Chains A and B, each alone.
Chain A
């Protein structure tokens, strides 16, 4: 499971200020902290940066490469800035991201080929948000993968992203993204890679509810075959949960439960909570979260209190 650290993001006002002031120390520290917490890739979201994107991305890449040799993910809608970043990167980078529109595919897929980069490809078209697993699979099979093949981008460099939507309002889409990931992994041999913007699942949910939703959803997605995720590596519990799954650590009741959930999704079965000790609040909250993510219980901000 490859963790792509999301903390260098232009929406954060600290990051924005650091970019504007070319504050190397801040950016380097933010990169280092994420790597220390286990991020294998650092996402560099600089925003659209229409005018100064080329310069900013080049500066960001150089700045971070001064202190770490971690893999970088170049995150902007500005294709020229992406190319500048690719030229500056000493290691194979990620392009974040193309969607299924001809404009983005034409602009970015050739760059992935030319620089032998990984490319995140979203199952999103100009017609609106996908409303089912099938819609996501269709976008991947009709647009994303053919564009990669046409440019000679190998499948193992393509990271299909099913476009995670929030459980608060799009509750029926949560399992659709899980099923899309499962299918993505069967679409070619060798299979394409998969990723997702994990925290989207809890967008517009109260801050205190978000970490658990993110963790439980990640376990379900990992079970379905997710190879990587864009995550907050400073969320210790989240990183510990990845550790539990990867080490198959069943030494705690929580570990046992997460592994049971993971195994259920790996087998494509239905999760059965009947053996879980519901008197343990931690386990009960996980089970309630599964039920919400599986759309068995209607989501409300207070779902854990019911």
Chain B
């Protein structure tokens, strides 16, 4: 074999390290990369990408049967579900306060606080709490979650341009991490980080959610935005240096390729395997685009993606 000289880039920037948990809970640190994903020969990658498992605060409706069956009875209880998710190898639990959505129960601050308390007590992994993605309700339940988890350094999502002040202020007050979500747009992603930092949130307390498009549903746009954000970060742009989180499970399990077995071409193959591949492909692609946290739904995908990360980390 002839000697081949591997071309190396010299980067000036690196991703911020963000710690979740600690203070009695397990701690997970994400970020810190000084190169593009998994290019250990070029720069330091001090932390593995983390796998979070999504837990809903209400029994999911409309989930494909194989996804529901993989969890069974625990779906009715977020605390049991979170405990089970920890057993299945989650690094982080991502609790979605779906019941706060005006059309899903419209629960408020009290219920949110109770659920967060219960889930925190059921396992010792770091926690992400996600609102129902209705800005006014996010403000109410995420502030309650923030107070309930004071000192536990959870991540709160999502901060959007509309409500970043409220969530950002809660993160500052209670020592949490803000998840800044923007709609697959690189300039807006940077802008929201600037706004959060102006508010006083430290850059080491921000994660970016670039908005995930699943395989076949905008994955390449998400990939491109993440790649360009990471390039800007590595070339020294401090306002794009936040680790990135992708809500993979939620996006891939709602596509018809993951749900439908009737009136689809035979070449699509068998549903059960196809659906798992959909989530896995979306996750592994975005890990290669620079995702620091992927939020997944199916235990088998978790197993497969953790194995992939093991191999890529060498």
Contacts and interface: CB of A to CB of B under 8 A. Distances in A.
Given A298-B232, A300-B191, A301-B191, A306 B238 contact: yes
A258 interface: no
B282 interface: no
Interface in B151-204: 185-188, 190-191, 193-195, 198
Given A306-B238, A306-B239, A298 B187 contact: yes
A286 B239 CA distance: 19
Interface string B215-235: 000000000000010001000
Nearest to A169: B187
B187 A299 contact: yes
Interface string A273-306: 0000000000000000000000001111111011
A63 interface: no
B85 to A, nearest CB: 36
B211 interface: no
Contacts, number: 35
B198 A298 contact: no
B187 A305 contact: no
Given A298-B240, A300-B239, A306-B239, A168 B187 contact: yes
B200 to A, nearest CB: 13
A306 B187 CA distance: 14
Q: What's the interface size class on A, roughly?
A: 10 to 19
B250 interface: no
A305 B194 contact: yes
B237 interface: yes
B83 to A, nearest CB: 41
Contacts of A301: 187, 191, 194
Most buried by A among B193, B195, B232, B239: B239
A169 B237 CA distance: 17
A298 B237 contact: yes
A292 to B, nearest CB: 10
Nearest to B236: A297
B198 A300 contact: no
Given A306-B238, A306-B239, A298 B194 contact: no
Interface in B58-85: none
A167 to B, nearest CB: 9
B237 A302 contact: no
A299 B238 CA distance: 13
Contacts of B195: 302
Contacts of B232: 298
Nearest to A306: B239
B242 to A, nearest CB: 13
A297 B190 CA distance: 11
A305 B237 contact: no
A306 B203 CA distance: 12
A306 B240 CA distance: 11
Contacts of B186: 298
Contacts of B191: 300-302
B260 to A, nearest CB: 35
A168 B190 CA distance: 12
Contacts of A168: 187
A295 to B, nearest CB: 10
Interface in A57-73: none
29 contacts: A168-B187, A169-B185, A169-B187, A171-B187, A297-B237, A298-B186, A298-B187, A298-B190, A298-B228, A298-B237, A298-B239, A298-B240, A299-B187, A299-B190, A300-B187, A300-B188, A300-B190, A300-B193, A300-B194, A300-B239, A301-B187, A301-B191, A301-B194, A302-B191, A302-B198, A303-B194, A305-B194, A306-B194, A306-B239
Given A169-B185, A298-B228, 18 more contacts: A169-B187, A171-B187, A298-B190, A298-B232, A298-B239, A298-B240, A299-B187, A299-B190, A300-B187, A300-B188, A300-B193, A301-B187, A301-B191, A302-B191, A302-B195, A303-B194, A306-B194, A306-B239
10 cross-chain pairs, A with B, having the tightest CB-CB distances, nearest first = A300-B190, A302-B194, A300-B191, A298-B232, A301-B191, A299-B187, A298-B190, A306-B239, A300-B187, A298-B237
